């Protein structure tokens, strides 16, 4: 049990929620489990998250944010030339997803259930990732490396995201440890990067 | 009940099996249902398909073959210039899958269960589709339209298949009636075709 003297922050509640989900699974974990682990009343938890659904959404968002925050660094203008940044962004996403799936399969299965419940949170997360990709692509156009499809960098970013979904969509997690998956990833990325390259001819 | 005077062919058994699956669902449909619909003994069915599993695999393969046979026509050398053939192949696949999912959702759900059971049949089907793509790409290289990734037309074909999986993998069937899906498809296809195009520079 955590010391009750520590201030009850939203972050501490979310940590305890993840732990409760890990222990009891998404079907059984309750707000009471979370409150008990923190040594507080469940009323104190509800002061931060007004419903159980809000708490589950917040913990799902936090899990997704861990990935998007790392990727945001790579998408920043100062990071690398756009083609290199794009390749690094895609391989960092694939690596992060593989780690989430492989290092803690139970927690990954738990979050897969939560993702199905929280479609608005997932849509927001995807929109954020597409925005990051779109920033890299737009910079690539400005610097003369890339050309978009139909002059639309957001639609082009979404196409890059869709074209690589085998390597980030949890629906394909069972493929991520198969032999040859890295070669497959690299072939798709090469094809996509070639598709973005500005043509001189 | 079908007339028993008609010869009991494998094709008639498979038709009756699909109908039994549609009526009773994949969990409940039995060989006895199939035999009864045909007015024959279940022994007669077993003379064509030695086990219930073999029958289910055969009906799954038949369902998948309906798509690959249409696509085989497009992949043939006489069909069209390779870039046009590739685009037509991908959009025909997407259209065929959308029809299967949208026109008869119950049968589609049934076959989704069967596909999970019959991983060898599915792998063979995917290998066949990748071969067709690889033929188009190889022809495109010969005619000066395309270049492969690392000189490997099979790996490149597989990458094209993977890059478009949002538009043929049944896991995405719930996306196929959303507004904007056709524009998304066309942006991915444009990006992939650009990636294949031989560069003059």
Which tens digit of pLDDT belongs to each residue from A172-192? Answer: 999 999 999 999 999 999 999
Looking at residue B7, what is its pLDDT?
Answer: 86
- In chain A, pLDDT over 90 holds for what percent of residues? 85
Question: Is B198 at the interface with chain A, CB within 8 A?
Answer: no
Task: Look at B149 and A190 and tell me if their CB atoms are within 8 Å.
Answer: yes
Contact A159 B193 (CB under 8 A): no
Grouping H, G, I as helix, E, B as strand and the rest as coil, residue A197 is strand
Q: How far is CA A114 from the centre of its chain?
A: 13
Enumerate the domain spans of chain B. 1-50, 57-196
Cα B148 to Cα A189, B136, B139, B140: the distances in Å are 13, 11, 11, 9
* A176, containing H or E segment: none
A192, A200, A201 ranked by CB distance to B191: nearest? A192
Mean pLDDT for chain A? 93
DSSP three-state, residue A48: helix
- Predicted confidence (pLDDT) at residue B133 exceeds the cutoff of 70: yes
Residue from A186, A96, A197 nearest A137 by CA: A197
Please state, in angstroms and rounded to a whole number, the distance separating the CA atoms of residues A151 and A193. Answer: 16
Q: Which residue of B has its CA nearest to A188?
A: B159
Chain-chain contact of A163 with B192 (C-beta, under 8 angstroms): yes
Does the CB of B174 have a partner CB in chain A at under 8 Å?
Answer: no
Q: Compute φ and ψ for B54, nearest 5 degrees.
A: -65, -40
Residues constituting chain A: 201
CA angle B114, B168, A100 (to 5 degrees): 85
Tell whether the model's pLDDT for residue B140 goes beyond 90.
yes
Residues 6+ apart with CB under 8 A from B134: B153, B154, B156, B157
Contact between B159 and A196 using a beta-carbon 8 Å cutoff: no
Residues of A within 8 A of B165 (CB-CB) are 165-166
- A79 min Cα distance to partner chain B (Å): 25
Note whether B171 contacts A: Cβ–Cβ < 8 A.
yes
For the beta carbon of residue B13, count every other beta carbon within 10 angstroms.
Answer: 24
Please determine, for residue B87, whether its predicted confidence score (pLDDT) is greater than 60.
Answer: yes
Of B152, B190, B197, the CB nearest to A149: B190
B-contacting residues of A 2-21, CB under 8 Å? Answer: none
Contact A116, A65 (CB under 8 A): no
The pLDDT assigned to B104 comes to 87
Q: Which residues does chain B have within 8 Å of residue A158's beta carbon, measured at their own beta carbons?
A: 184, 187
Name the CATH superfamily for A58-196.
Tetracycline Repressor, domain 2 (1.10.357.10)
CATH number of the B1-50 domain? 1.10.10.60
Q: What is the CA radius of gyration of chain B?
A: 20
Distance CA B63, CA A81 (A): 47
Among B162, B166, B187, whose Cβ lies nearest the Cβ of A184? B162
Tell me the CA end-to-end span of chain B in Å, nearest whole number: 67
User: Given this model, what pLDDT does residue B182 score?
Assistant: 97
Three-state DSSP class for B197?
strand
pLDDT digits (tens, 9 = 90+) for A1-20: 445 557 899 999 999 999 99
Asked if B155 lies within 8 A of A200 by C-beta distance, the reply is no
Contact flag B191-A188 (C-beta cutoff 8 Å): no
Task: Please state the length of chain B.
Answer: 201
Contact A133, A161 (CB under 8 A): yes
From CA B144, how far away is CA A117, in angstroms rounded?
49
In contact, A4 and A39? CB cutoff 8 Å: yes
- How many other CB atoms are found less than 10 A from the CB of residue B126? 16
Higher confidence at residue B83 or residue B199? B83
Q: How many Cβ pairs closer than 8 A exist between chain A and B?
A: 91
The helix (run of H) or strand (run of E) holding residue A17 is helix A10-28
- The pLDDT value recorded for residue B106 is 87
A103: exposed, middle or buried (Cβ count in 10 Å: 0-12, 13-18, 19+)? exposed
ipTM value: 0.91
Give A199's pLDDT tier (boundaries 50, 70, 90). Answer: confident
SS3 letters across B123-187: HHHHHHHHHHHHHHHHHHHHCCCECCCCCCHHHHHHHHHHHCHHHCCHHHHHHCCCCCHHHHHHH
pLDDT digits over B142-174, tens only? 999 999 999 999 999 999 999 999 999 999 999
Looking at the predicted structure, is the pLDDT value of residue B4 above 70?
no
pLDDT tens digits along A33-76: 999 999 999 999 999 999 999 999 999 999 999 999 999 999 99
CATH code given to domain B57-196: 1.10.357.10
Residue B200 contacts A where some CB pair is shorter than 8 Å? yes
CA–CA separation, A157 vs B65, rounded Å?
34
Q: With an 8 Å Cβ cutoff, are A164 and B159 in contact? A: no
């Amino acid at each position: 049990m955590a010391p009750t003297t520590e201030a009850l922050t939203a972050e501490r509640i979310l940590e305890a929620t993840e732990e409760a989900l890990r222990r009891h699974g998404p079907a059984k974990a309750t707000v009471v489990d979370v409150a008990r682990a923190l040594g507080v009343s469940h009323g104190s938890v509800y002061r931060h998250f007004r419903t159980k659904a809000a708490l589950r959404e917040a913990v799902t968002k936090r899990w997704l944010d861990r990935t998007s925050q790392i990727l945001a660094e790579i998408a920043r203008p100062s990071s690398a030339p756009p083609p290199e940044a794009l390749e690094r962004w895609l391989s960092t996403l694939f690596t992060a997803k593989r780690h989430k799936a492989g290092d803690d399969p139970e927690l990954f299965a738990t979050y897969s259930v939560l993702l199905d419940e929280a479609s608005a949170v997932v849509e927001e997360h995807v929109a954020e990732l597409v925005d990051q990709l779109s920033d890299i692509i737009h910079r690539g156009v400005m610097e003369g490396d890339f050309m978009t499809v139909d002059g639309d960098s957001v639609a082009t970013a979404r196409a890059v995201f869709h074209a690589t979904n085998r390597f980030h969509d949890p629906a394909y997690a069972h493929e991520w440890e198969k032999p040859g998956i890295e070669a497959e990833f690299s072939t798709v990325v090469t094809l996509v990067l070639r598709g973005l390259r500005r043509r001189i001819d």
